[in-house]
Chains A and B, each alone.
Chain A
Amino acid sequence: MTDRPSPTAVLHEGPRALSDAQVREIEESNLADVLKVDIDDVIEYVHKDLKALPDFTTLYRKYLKQRWDVYDLDFSQDVIDWQEKMTEDERQSFMAIASGFHHGERQVEIELPVFMIGASEEEKLHIAAQIEDEARHTVFFDRFYREVVGLKGDDIMDILDASFPWVSETFVGPFGLLAYQADELRRHPYDERARVRYGTTYFLWIEGVLALSVMKVTLSYARWRGFLPAYYTGFTATCRDESRHVQGGMKYLQDAVRKDPSMINEIHDTLRTILYTSGVNSRQIYYEPLGWTQDEVRILFFQQLRRKLNDVGISLSPDLEELLTKVQPVLAGG
């Protein structure tokens, strides 16, 4: 047995205080040492700078220090854990949760370039770095599904096709919306209102809420059981990358609202559409094999959304508060 805390313990803990030494460990660990970092500390770290957001050049410089080589990961112990130690229920539950990420990483990689066209020069550096991060995350899942899960295919799309049967139909809600908003930006790259709507879906909802919640579910399972060390290492490093993406995205939205307070309406309208489509599941997902219940995942969603909105200073309208009470988890991220 393990003496590690249960996967859901942090839900009842409240916000953590990170010491300077912990922050240094998160920021400066090389890939091999990421295995020792606690995922709950990394998720806390995402919020660390939300109240005083770093500028885009600082985020770009962090990227240069933190990028990692996805081909350095060695999945051989993960293969043993997957095949010999995990139960069939655990594998199925894991696939149902991770497959939304496999597809989500690809989607956020290919939808981001159009957002760069209308960005400031400093933000362009950050976005260029983020596109490379998302490409690396796509390769990370491609390697995991190929080498650990054992899906077969000649190229990246073959592996995506093979994992797609595990993706819920409701995935098209946030990710179809992002695809269409990216197309809107392709046609009107300097439309600031369209950019804010796109940013709300991409940075606030998909990265800030969905991704961080779902990362936490599989990573806290892996840490709790002591399984899948290369998955834990690569995906925790991914989470550290996401902290830069969320901070950059929240900076973009915060600046847009400060420049033009009526932009809050674009954020609200976008959240309204997202919450309308987030009140239903198309499949029954069993989280229990990974140590979670559906209600606990919902609580995690709310915590993630509230903290972003509070820290960045975005308030919700009463009808959005009402919609929020009906939200069901979508198992995906980017």
Chain B
Amino acid sequence: MTETNFFSSGWAAVVRDALDAGPSDQVRAGKLQEYWDLFETIKSVYPASWALGCRELPAELGGGPAYLFVQWAGGTVADCRIIGPDEPLAATYVLAMDYADWKALHDGYDAQRTVMYRKILLEEGNLLEFFKTIYFFAECLAVIGAVEARYPALVPA
């Protein structure tokens, strides 16, 4: 079986299942129950959508920029797909990150520091509203990064 490419439609389908399932038992075991209770509460009512961009997507993955669109509704992912460069970009929050940082996240770099070190940035959307649910976002970002996929090696600049 060939591995799914990062930022392909097949990958988006796996991401959708992974987000619906939420963090693994191993991840959950490392943090307090009250933290996960808050996570589940937010997940159950979260009404917003994310467009998570990848800048400089390698040519063999289609070239970029491209966005992963995630729509939340009723505690599940109602829509999850790749938006190409020519399609309209409409989401509550538009964020973007370089390919190298997506790859680092996949290789195990911490999702909280991916936010704090401004590797992923908010390009559109209300910042203060976005941050009210930042723990939910950071845990979901870690889930997305952990999805198995083929990430081509970086071409040295």
List residues of A whose CB falls within 8 A of some B CB: 107, 164, 169-173, 175-177, 179-184, 197, 269-270, 272-273, 276-277, 279-284
B89 in the interface, Cβ–Cβ < 8 Å? no
A176 nearest CB across to chain B (Å): 4
CA distance A62 to B17 in the complex (A): 58
- Name the B residues within 8 Å of A276 (CB-CB): 132
- Name the B residues within 8 Å of A283 (CB-CB): 31-32
Closest to A174 in B: B131
- Name the A residues within 8 Å of B117 (CB-CB): 179
A73 nearest CB across to chain B (Å): 28
Q: 5 closest Cβ contacts across the A-B interface?
A: A172-B112, A282-B35, A273-B128, A176-B115, A276-B132
**Which residues of B in the span 125-140 have a Cβ within 8 Å of any Cβ on A?**
127-132, 134-135, 138
A31 nearest CB across to chain B (Å): 31
B92 nearest CB across to chain A (Å): 15
B102 nearest CB across to chain A (Å): 18
Q: Which applies to chain A's interface (DSSP): helix, strand, loop or mixed?
A: helix
Listed A/B pairs (21) with beta-carbon separation below 8 Å: A107-B116, A169-B112, A169-B135, A171-B116, A172-B134, A173-B131, A176-B134, A177-B131, A177-B134, A180-B122, A181-B127, A183-B118, A184-B127, A272-B128, A273-B132, A277-B132, A277-B135, A280-B35, A280-B38, A282-B35, A283-B31
CA distance A279 to B118 in the complex (A): 24
A318 nearest CB across to chain B (Å): 18
B77 nearest CB across to chain A (Å): 22
List residues of B whose CB falls within 8 A of some A CB: 31-32, 34-35, 38, 110, 112-113, 115-118, 121-122, 127-132, 134-135, 138
A284 touches B32 (CB 8 A): yes
CA distance A53 to B3 in the complex (A): 62
Q: Which of A179, A182, A273 contacts B115 (CB 8 A)?
A: A179
The answer to whether A180 and B32 touch (CB under 8 A), given A169-B112, A173-B134, is no
The answer to whether A280 and B132 touch (CB under 8 A), given A175-B116, A183-B118, is no
CA distance A125 to B157 in the complex (A): 39
CA distance A182 to B121 in the complex (A): 11
The answer to whether A172 and B116 touch (CB under 8 A), given A180-B121, A282-B35, is yes
CA distance A279 to B127 in the complex (A): 19
B116 touches A173 (CB 8 A): no
- Name the A residues within 8 Å of B127 (CB-CB): 177, 180-181, 184
Closest to B34 in A: A280
- Name the A residues within 8 Å of B32 (CB-CB): 281-284
CA distance A281 to B35 in the complex (A): 6
Closest to B95 in A: A180
CA distance A284 to B35 in the complex (A): 11
Q: Which of B34, B112, B115, B121 contacts A281 (CB 8 A)?
A: B34
Closest to A279 in B: B38
A180 touches B31 (CB 8 A): no
- Name the B residues within 8 Å of A282 (CB-CB): 31-32, 35, 135
**Which of B113, B122, B130 has the most chain A CB atoms inside 10 A of its CB?**
B113
Q: Which of A176, A197, A272, A273 contacts B116 (CB 8 A)?
A: A176
CA distance A184 to B121 in the complex (A): 10
CA distance A269 to B131 in the complex (A): 12
B128 touches A170 (CB 8 A): no
A327 nearest CB across to chain B (Å): 14
CA distance A270 to B132 in the complex (A): 10
- Name the B residues within 8 Å of A176 (CB-CB): 112, 115-116, 131, 134, 138
B57 nearest CB across to chain A (Å): 22
B116 touches A179 (CB 8 A): yes
A271 nearest CB across to chain B (Å): 10
CA distance A282 to B131 in the complex (A): 17
The answer to whether A164 and B113 touch (CB under 8 A), given A169-B138, A172-B138, is yes
**Which of B35, B130, B134, B138 has the most chain A CB atoms inside 10 A of its CB?**
B134
- Name the A residues within 8 Å of B34 (CB-CB): 280-281
Closest to B127 in A: A180
A171 touches B112 (CB 8 A): yes
B132 touches A170 (CB 8 A): no
